[in-house]
Amino acid sequence: MEVIETKLKGVCVIEPRVFGDDRGFFLETFQAERYRQQAGIDLAFVQDNHSRSQQGVLRGLHFQIKRPQGKLVRVVRGEVLDVAVDINPGSPTCGQYEAVLLSGKNYKQLWVPPGYAHGFIVLSEVADFEYKCTDYYDPSDEGGIVWNDPDIGIDWQFSNPLLSDKDRILPTLAEYLKV
């Protein structure tokens, strides 16, 4: 596997080795020792999630406040633009983001360590998105940043994405950090 560092501390793209022929393919989507040694992921995963969304659906930018989750994300069908945002006020990259194209064809994964906001938008007709989490989902601990925060400036490739009611009213990063 190849690990590609990003400008955000700890956030990395993982390109697993894919073994394929005319019958299909095989790849390891996670192996604890290898991911610890090569990608520095030394946290236990406690929950796996799978979501399916249609084209134009934007989910995010989400995080947990007191019990932050690390997420190892991948797409098994379709294509998404996946985004991690540094929301740590003491970080030199606070307010910066990393965007990666994940698809069922490129097999890439994105490691989003605890303490970052995360979101994605579906670029294909439909996408199946899977992710491993380092802490349990806790709805009472949810936080979020509005998808179109002008200070962050993410190019989501859609001007009018499909959003949940909750995601429409999230604060900007500056508003969140004032709290």
- Dist CA 176 CA 76 (whole Å): 33
- Dist CA 116 CA 113 (whole Å): 6
SS3 145: coil
| CB 157, CB 120: distance < 8 Å | no
Residue 118 appears among annotated catalytic residues: no
Sheet holding 97-103, edge to edge: 97-103, 79-86, 116-122, 58-64, 142-144
Of 107, 116, 131, 176, the catalytic one is 131
Of 62, 107, 116, 118, the catalytic one is 62
Smallest Cα–Cα separation from 123: which of 137, 142, 106, 144? 106
Active site residues: 62, 131
